[in-house]
Amino acid sequence: MRNPPRFASRVVRERLRELGHAQTYQGWREIAIELDRLEGADGWTQDDTSEDFDYLLIQERLQRIRALRQKADVRQLAFELYEGLHGNLGNISNPALYAVARVGTKRLVADYIHEVSRCLDFICAGDFADFGFEEKIQFFKRTATSFGRSALMLSGGGTLGMFHLGVIKALHTQKLLPRVLSGASAGSIIASAVAVRSDDEIDAMFEPGGLNLDAFQSLGWREIIRGGAVMDSGQLERCLEANIGDLTFVEAFDRTHRIVSITVSPAETHQQGRLLNYLTAPHVLMRKAVLASCAVPGIFAPVQLEARNYAKQTVPYLPSQRWIDGTLSSDLPMLRLARLHNVNHYVVSQTNPHIVPLIAAAERERRGLAPLARELVKQGGSGALRLARKHLDPHGGGRLLGKIDNIVRQRYSGDINIFPVPSHRRMLGLFANPSSDDIQTYIREGERATWPRIERIRLQTQISRTFEDCIRLLKRREHERVHAGDPRAHKPLRAVR
Mean pLDDT of 276-281: 97
Q: How far apart are CA 291 and CA 226, in angstroms?
A: 20
**What does the pLDDT read at residue 400?**
43
Task: Give 209's pLDDT tier (boundaries 50, 70, 90).
Answer: confident
pLDDT at 1 over 50: no
**What does the pLDDT read at residue 219?**
61
Q: How far apart are CA 187 and CA 157, in angstroms?
A: 8
Q: How far apart are CA 25 and CA 37, in angstroms?
A: 18
Q: Which residues of 288-325 are buried (b: 16+ CB within 10 A; e: fewer)?
A: bbbbbbbbbbebbbbbbbbbbeeeeeeeebeeebbbbb
pLDDT at 225 over 90: no
Strand partners, 275: 263
Task: Give 215's pLDDT tier (boundaries 50, 70, 90).
Answer: confident
104-131 pLDDT, tens digit each? 999 999 999 999 999 999 999 999 999 9
Task: Give 456's pLDDT tier (boundaries 50, 70, 90).
Answer: very high
Query: In 322-418, which ranges are continuous DSSP H helix?
Result: 327-330, 334-341, 356-364, 370-390, 397-409
Does this model's pTM top 0.85? My answer is yes
Q: How far apart are CA 91 and CA 97, in angstroms?
A: 9
Which segments within 90-157 are labelled E, that is strand?
A: 149-154
Task: Give 234's pLDDT tier (boundaries 50, 70, 90).
Answer: confident
Task: Give 378's pLDDT tier (boundaries 50, 70, 90).
Answer: very low
DSSP string of 23-52? -SHHHHHHHHHHHHHHHTHHHHHH----SS
**What does the pLDDT read at residue 377?**
39
480-495 pLDDT, tens digit each? 777 676 655 555 444 4
Q: How far apart are CA 472 and CA 138, in angstroms?
A: 14
Mean pLDDT of 350-354: 91
Nearest to 191 by CA among 272, 107, 287, 118: 287
Domain ranges of the chain: 40-147+456-484, 150-352+412-451
388-403 pLDDT, tens digit each? 444 444 444 444 444 4
Mean pLDDT of 142-156: 95
431 touches 299 (CB < 8 A): yes
pLDDT at 230 over 60: yes
Mean pLDDT of 240-244: 94
Question: May I ask the CATH architecture of the domain 150-352+412-451?
Answer: 3-Layer(aba) Sandwich (3.40)
Lowest mean pLDDT among 170-179, 236-245, 279-288: 236-245
Mean pLDDT of 358-386: 53
**What does the pLDDT read at residue 224?**
60
Nearest to 497 by CA among 83, 121, 148: 148
Q: Which residues of 193-228 are buried (b: 16+ CB within 10 A; e: fewer)?
A: bbbbbeeeebeebbeeebbebebbeebeeeeeeeee
pLDDT at 338 over 70: yes
Q: How far apart are CA 130 and CA 349, in angstroms?
A: 46
Name the average pLDDT for the chain: 86
172 touches 443 (CB < 8 A): no
Percentage of the chain lying above the pLDDT 70 cut: 83
Q: Give me the phi and psi of 325, to 5 degrees please.
A: -40, 120
280-334 pLDDT, tens digit each? 999 999 999 999 999 998 889 999 999 999 999 999 999 999 999 888 887 789 9
398-445 pLDDT, tens digit each? 444 444 445 556 678 899 999 999 877 777 677 788 888 999 999 999
Three-class SS of residue 274? strand
**What does the pLDDT read at residue 9?**
86
| Residues with catalytic function | 185, 325
**What does the pLDDT read at residue 7?**
53
More confident residue, 269 or 443: 443
**What does the pLDDT read at residue 359?**
87
pLDDT at 340 over 60: yes
192 touches 262 (CB < 8 A): yes
pLDDT at 207 over 70: yes
**What does the pLDDT read at residue 481?**
73
Mean pLDDT of 227-235: 77
**What does the pLDDT read at residue 411?**
79
